[in-house]
Amino acid sequence: MQILNNDRLLRALLRQPVDTTPIWVMRQAGRYLPEYRATRARAGSFMQLCRTPELACEVTLQPLARFPLDAAILFSDILTVPDAMGLGLYFVEGEGPRFERVLRSAADIDALPRPDPEEALAYVMDAVRMIRRELDGRVPLIGFSGSPWTLATYMVEGGANREFAHTKGLLYDQPAVLHRLLTRLADTVTDYLNAQIRAGAQAVMIFDTWGGILTPAAYRDFSLEYMHRIVDGLIREHEGRRVPVTLFTKGGGQWLEAMADTGCDALGLDWTIDIGDARRRVGDRVALQGNLDPAVLYAGPERIRAEAAAIVSAYGGGSGHVFNLGHGIHPHIDPEHVAALVDAVHLAGATAGRSAVGGA
């Protein structure tokens, strides 16, 4: 087993004692860093950046060279999974992801393959292995995937969408067809995350970006059920350690108790819920990750420090808190403001007394 010089993240996700609150930032490798923009320009395109393990490794490590973060997260995209299933992912400048082929019928869905991630997504696994070597035990590496529901919305709509007319049309008019797609995606995502774990990811996260657009009943049946299946199928011990799994549903604060019942180790929170209230609701069943509004980082360092301290204080004493933003960092944030946030969280976390394992 490789010795980790900094295992705060893994310990906090498992509600074990830590010396201070760990922090990482969603999309911490991204457009707000000038060094990322330079590497992206060298790559020529976003997908080429994702598909070149050396460059994906480079941008994964860039924020760690600037900030004393407590984790690296694999640089990739959730839509590499449907791309590997044959839909032909491409990006339109200023518009986002698009697919050459979309799913609109049962026949389209039944024709989808179940790709072998070591072959169809070999570039991701090569990047994971390379990042682990380069990290050399400095901090743990987080792997990730999109949730089946979130992936399905892109695959059925053909790209980013605000109305989800085709996906919700399937949900209400042909639910059995949508369930077939979600079942296939749950199997594929399970394979994909397990391949990441075998390649070296030490924690994994499932991003359910669009679960919050569903009714409570639809969320349970079409999103949470399939994340639960993935959790049940994941490798949970590897390299002599527990592999924590975090579920994050943006806009899903009303369903935290049901999410905790899946057997995951942690829940990600967006900024629309008070983390203290969330902790009281889930008790000691799971750790919590979050949940600063990303827009706070437009403010000056003094306000950033105050907002970070307020969240650490609201969580309360004991371990089980991983500080993060409530969603991805905005591309125009000043990197110095991120530096202020990281320092503020570590200071506030040490002051709060994270060494005791807390309850609700």
Annotated binding site for substrate: 27-31, 77, 154, 209, 327
**What's the rounded mean pLDDT across residues 152-165?**
92
Considering the domain boundaries, does residue 358 fall inside one?
no
Of the residues 8, 15, 40, 132, only one is catalytic, namely 40
Q: Is 154 a catalytic residue?
A: yes
Of the residues 32, 36, 154, 219, only one is catalytic, namely 154
Lowest average pLDDT, out of 62-66, 90-94, 243-247, goes to: 90-94
pLDDT of 356 strictly over 60: no
Of the residues 8, 11, 27, 229, only one is catalytic, namely 27
Q: Is 208 a catalytic residue?
A: no
Of the residues 77, 116, 187, 293, only one is catalytic, namely 77
pLDDT at 161: 82
Considering the domain boundaries, does residue 38 fall inside one?
yes
Over residues 253-272, the pLDDT tens digits come to 999 999 999 999 999 999 99
The confidence band for 358, taking pLDDT boundaries of 50, 70 and 90, is very low
Over residues 43-71, the pLDDT tens digits come to 999 999 999 999 999 999 999 999 999 99
The confidence band for 359, taking pLDDT boundaries of 50, 70 and 90, is very low
Q: Which domain holds residue 337?
A: 8-352
CATH number at residue 346: 3.20.20.210
Considering the domain boundaries, does residue 244 fall inside one?
yes
The confidence band for 352, taking pLDDT boundaries of 50, 70 and 90, is confident
Considering the domain boundaries, does residue 360 fall inside one?
no
Considering the domain boundaries, does residue 1 fall inside one?
no
Considering the domain boundaries, does residue 45 fall inside one?
yes
Map tokens 């949900």 to a residue: 171
Model pTM score: 0.95
Q: How many domains does the chain have?
A: 1
Q: Is 40 a catalytic residue?
A: yes
SS3 assignment for 56-91: HHHHHHHHHHHCCCCCEECCCCCCHHHHHHHHCEEE
